[in-house]
Amino acid sequence: MGRLKRIRNFYIPWLKSEKSNAKKLAWDSRYNQLIRFQVLIDNIELSGKSILDVGCGLGDLCSYILEQGIDVDYTGVDILAEMIADAQKNCPVGNFICADIFKDKKVFGTKRFDVVFASGTFNLKLGNNEIFIAEMVKRFSEFSREYFAFNMLHERSSDFMDTYFYTNPEKISRIIAPYANRIKIIDDYLKNDFTVVCQK
Ligand SMILES: C[S@@+](CC[C@H](N)C(=O)[O-])C[C@H]1O[C@@H](n2cnc3c(N)ncnc32)[C@H](O)[C@@H]1O
């Protein structure tokens, strides 16, 4: 089964449910979704910056940044058109685009963003995750001017599920090394997650 089909098959049934946004995106809880956002925004000075949120889902990071009173120029991109339609309703000040950035390298033309974020974008097992991550990191580097930062499921997790992809900071640091001047790993906020902040 192709990557897009896997992603669609996983998220679309949840999207049609009456659940909270966090549950529709398959997060364990809203707390677990928001703490990931908080770690991303705690580690980069965002005020006045342009932000690209890759795999933006329902636009919750856009709403969260606004709620913190931080003024940013936010763009969200997601592979699923249904996510983008709902994200635009949830956070009308954001600019939302439907694209697969793995395939569509030129979606932003020559535009660059100060910061690129991705929260939960690598969670699903796709059969070729290491290649997918390496290619996505290359894109994050191309699209960003100052920083890119993302989180991943940690292999020390105590409740492994076959649907998800788990890894560790050492493996991911090796993939990122060619693209970053400084790499910061944060892995003290949830047992099953870690965040990588890359300064260019
Ligand atoms: C777990 S959800 C997280 C959504 C949001 N970042 C959040 O934390 O609320 C992962 C999202 O990544 C999107 N995604 C996965 N691969 C993608 C790709 N290659 N390009 C754009 N979006 C992608 C999925 O469609 C899904 O909406």
Name residues whose C-beta falls within 8 Å of residue 168's C-beta, 6 or more positions apart in sequence.
154, 155, 156, 194
Between 112 and 17, the more confident residue is 112
Ligand 1 centroid distance, CA of 56 (Å): 6
Q: Is the pLDDT of residue 31 over 80?
A: yes
Q: What is the pLDDT at residue 105?
A: 87
Best probe residue, ligand 1, of 121, 140, 153, 193 (max atoms within 8 Å of C-beta): 121
Q: Is the pLDDT of residue 101 over 80?
A: yes
- What number does the ligand 1 atom closest to the CA of 103 have? 19
- What is the DSSP secondary structure assignment for residue 177, as one 8-state letter? G
What does each C-alpha distance from 70 to 28, 45, 103, 143 come to in angstroms? 26, 10, 31, 22
What does each C-alpha distance from 55 to 88, 99, 158, 181 come to in angstroms? 14, 9, 25, 24
What is the maximum span of the chain, computed from C-alpha positions, in angstroms? 44
Q: What is the pLDDT at residue 8?
A: 96
How far is C-alpha 32 from the chain's CA centre? 14
Q: What percent of the chain has pLDDT over 70?
A: 100
Ligand 1 centroid distance, CA of 182 (Å): 25
What does each C-alpha distance from 143 to 37, 105, 122, 193 come to in angstroms? 20, 9, 18, 24
Q: Is the pLDDT of residue 186 over 80?
A: yes
Overall domain count for the chain: 1
CATH of the domain at 38: 3.40.50.150
Domain range enclosing 66: 3-199
